[in-house]
Amino acid sequence: MSIPGVGSKIAAKVSEFLASGHLRKVEEICGSERSQVVELFTKVWGVGPATAQSWFQQVTLMICRLCNDKFFFL
């Protein structure tokens, strides 16, 4: 598909959307655990996307540290 003034990658996305009604990459991102957890965190009053992302990163790091701690499994 060729769209004047639009690059080939964007044109491919437009074509995919017109053919299927959705974009595969968007569904992958929205269906990811990260996206779901961040969305859940943003439901806390006063928590926006930046804070939710920060919380996700902090929780992930904390879990990784706990799993690597030799005393965690005792």
DSSP state of 72: G
Task: Note if 70 is an active site residue.
Answer: no
Distance CA 30, CA 69 (A): 32
Catalytic residue (one of 9, 13, 25, 43): 13
Q: Are 51 and 59 in contact (CB under 8 A)?
A: no
Catalytic (active-site) positions: 13
